[in-house]
């Protein structure tokens, strides 16, 4: 007899691990690397539905997004008064027993001044 692994999101019938299926697809996390040689990060912010937390020991910013797929813009204010930015695009990936909100990890880039 062959065991079938997978879930049906329409019926929520599951042949997966004991904890069952998770089709909530609600929260995703990605990281933004802080390039070596930058001034110290003094503060990070992110757009609505996203949070950003600087992890100094790893020299990265962890970005979380709630609400499924969408975009997050992150701004890192540096101790020297300059700022660096990153843009992340979160998508929903569907698998047999779950779905995940994911984004490619990225690197902070210099902020471009707004043009008038």
Domains of the chain in sequence order: 6-110 (2.60.40)
First to last CA, the chain: 69
Asked whether the beta carbons of 33 and 58 are under 8 A apart, the reply is no
- Which pTM does this prediction carry? 0.77
**In angstroms, rounded to a whole number, what is the distance separating the alpha carbons of residues 30 and 52?**
10
Q: Tally the C-alpha atoms within 13 A of residue 30's C-alpha that lie toward its C-beta.
A: 26
- Using CB atoms within 10 A of its CB, is residue 68 exposed (0-12), middle (13-18) or buried (19+)? middle
**In angstroms, rounded to a whole number, what is the distance separating the alpha carbons of residues 67 and 60?**
23
Residues recorded for the chain: 116
The string of pLDDT tens digits covering residues 93-106 is 887 777 888 999 99
The string of pLDDT tens digits covering residues 8-66 is 555 555 566 666 666 778 889 999 999 999 999 999 999 988 999 999 999 999 999 99
From its phi and psi, is residue 112 left (phi > 0), alpha (psi between -120 and 50) or beta? beta
């Amino acid at each position: 007899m062959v065991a079938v692994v997978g879930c049906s999101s329409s019926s929520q019938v599951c042949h997966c691990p004991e904890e069952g299926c998770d089709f909530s697809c609600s929260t995703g996390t990605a990281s933004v690397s802080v390039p070596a040689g930058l001034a110290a990060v003094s503060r990070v912010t992110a757009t609505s539905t996203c949070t950003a937390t600087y992890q100094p020991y790893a020299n990265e910013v962890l970005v979380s997004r709630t609400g499924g797929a969408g975009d997050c813009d992150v701004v890192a204010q540096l101790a020297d008064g300059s700022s660096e930015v990153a843009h992340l695009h979160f998508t929903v990936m569907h698998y047999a027993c779950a779905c995940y909100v994911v984004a490619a990890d990225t690197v902070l880039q210099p902020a471009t001044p707004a043009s008038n």
